[in-house]
Amino acid sequence: METSKKRPVVATIAVLLKGDKVLLVRRSNPPDAGRWGFPGGKIERGETIEEAALRELYEETNVTANMHRVFNAVDVLDFDKDGGLEYHFVLVAVLCVWVSGEPLAGDDALEACFFNLDDVNENNLAISLDVEKVARQAMEVYKNELVE
């Protein structure tokens, strides 16, 4: 059995805000292929959370940003058809603030674009679990800590 199936895998998600918009990517690979979520991926050995978030953000969207801070962590549990635990990911959410670049899908993203926060919900988009909740938390941190 692979190590990744025995222990949680730590990954990062870059929750990038630009004004009242949030950057999302449509995933090309499982889990959640075809659904919208945050740019992100596994943290490489020796890489910091910040480095991983900014690297994944650039690789998947061609956008550069500054990291503000880690503000949440989300468990993603992926089960097989029999209900057994297939994978367990721990996604460390990093609030990022746009510096430059327009979204251009790359790496394992099918699409990348900014959405108004009010449009980030299951009624408007096929989003991954907790995307709306995490985006709203990020906006609260952004307004309370970064907007003057």
Judged on CB neighbours under 10 Å (0-12, 13-18, 19+), 134 is: buried
Active site (catalytic) residues:
111
| Residue at token pair 């549990």 | 77
Question: In this structure, are residues 90 and 9 in contact, taking their beta carbons and an 8 Å threshold?
Answer: yes
How many helices and strands, by DSSP H and E, does the chain display? 3, 7
